[in-house]
Amino acid sequence: MAMEIQLDSPLAGLVAGELQTAASPAAQALARAICAERPGVASILFYGSCLRKDTNEGVFDFYVLVDRYRDTYDSRLLAIGNAILPPNVFYIETESEFGTLRAKYAVLSQSDFEAAVSPSCVHPYIWARFSQPSRLVYARDADARDAATRASAQAIVTLVQRLGVFLPASGRLQKFSLSALWQEAFTRTYGAESRPESEDTIRGVYEAASERYDEAGAHALAHLEAQGWLDSVTARGSSGAYEVEMPARRRSLARLRWQISRPIARILAILRLLKTAFTFGDWIPYAVWKVERHSGQRVELSERQRKHPLIFAWPVIWRVLLNRKPDA
């Protein structure tokens, strides 16, 4: 049974520190625009490549956490869609002193967010993202801030628990570096969403904040030992090398569970992409860009496919996804 993350724990302290680090003025401007557009916001988390690269170029990524979907939308259909296949994703632009800023933001209830970062969640869509650094660009109150902190810390523990089992093992014992742990996890989570990335890209994500990842990984291993998921955790020197013991059968079952859930995660990722047709506005250029970027294949759409995407465009995108590059 998962042990709740305590706010006074080292892992929560690490996460709280990075969440409360001031985001860029551009990200803050977009957060204000989102609050003006969307009622009932509890908190807004900024994550992704614009944060990692510290740039205003491209499309910013946000998660918008709300209390209840029915209080967030005028449309009952949007509320139902968000509840059945969360999250709903929207696009927003705002003018600022930095020029036109663009963002996509995903809407998720606080309760759904907490469920999506737990180790019982089938797919890695949320916990993979929030195991990486993020910023809390808006929090309605202390309760919303604390909830975001706990959930983001849990995302790290879940990633280590679910994917650390794939590192080389001999019976009960695993020996690995924290660098290997994170890069193995990133490779598998990107691949689970039909987003295979090269080894260089995976390495770059880790190296962009290697000290942070190593500290977070060490705290997560300690949490899993205290929880009883791991029998023992031993650090070997100061190089990030670890020895971990756990029952071989538990590791085998965890690996099997991931292999079974992997195709489900991919199907859900495709369904979410198609659902953006109802929320994103002019979604075709964005969807094509995403598919090309992560599949490495060029997508050519006819004028008819662009005018009637739900009828004609999705088979093309689906075909490219099925023929994507193999996972790294």
The DSSP line for 188-239 is HHHHHTT----HHHHHHHHHTTHHHHHHHHHHHHHHHHHHTSSSEEEEETTT
Percent of the chain past pLDDT 90, that is, above it, reads 63
Note the pLDDT of residue 291. Answer: 64
- For residue 54 the two structure tokens come to 């510290």
Helix (H, G, I), strand (E, B) or coil at 94: strand
- Which residue do the tokens 């879940």 mark? 158
Task: Using the predicted structure, report yes or no on whether residue 327 has a pLDDT greater than 50.
Answer: no
- Do residues 12 and 149 lie in contact, with contact meaning Cβ atoms separated by under 8 Å? yes
Between CA 275 and CA 236 the distance in angstroms is: 47
Closest CA to 35 of 76, 81, 82, 92: 92
Please tell me the least confidently modeled range out of 11-25, 75-89, 188-202, 246-260.
188-202
Beta bridge partners of 41: 66
Q: How far is CA 13 from CA 10, 19, 225, 238, in A?
A: 5, 10, 18, 21
- Which residue do the tokens 């860029």 mark? 24
Task: Using the predicted structure, report yes or no on whether residue 268 has a pLDDT greater than 80.
Answer: yes
Position 156, amino acid: I
Q: How far is CA 108 from CA 53, 65, 119, in A?
A: 25, 5, 18
Helix (H, G, I), strand (E, B) or coil at 108: strand
Mean pLDDT of 225-233: 96
Instruction: Answer with the residue of higher pLDDT: 206 or 320.
Output: 206
Residue 182 sits at φ, ψ, to 5 deg, of: -70, -40
Beta bridge partners of 168: none
- Do residues 195 and 201 lie in contact, with contact meaning Cβ atoms separated by under 8 Å? no
Helix (H, G, I), strand (E, B) or coil at 86: coil
Instruction: Answer with the residue of higher pLDDT: 12 or 268.
Output: 12
Task: Using the predicted structure, report yes or no on whether residue 147 has a pLDDT greater than 90.
Answer: yes
Sheet holding 135-139, edge to edge: 88-96, 99-109, 60-66, 41-47, 135-139
Mean pLDDT score across all residues of the chain = 87
Note the pLDDT of residue 87. Answer: 93
Domains located in the chain, CATH noted = 10-260 (3.30.460.10), 261-322 (no CATH)
pTM (2 d.p.): 0.84
Q: What is the pLDDT of residues 56-87, one digit of tens each?
A: 888 899 999 999 999 999 999 999 999 999 99
Note the pLDDT of residue 316. Answer: 61
Mean pLDDT of 135-156: 97
Note the pLDDT of residue 296. Answer: 66
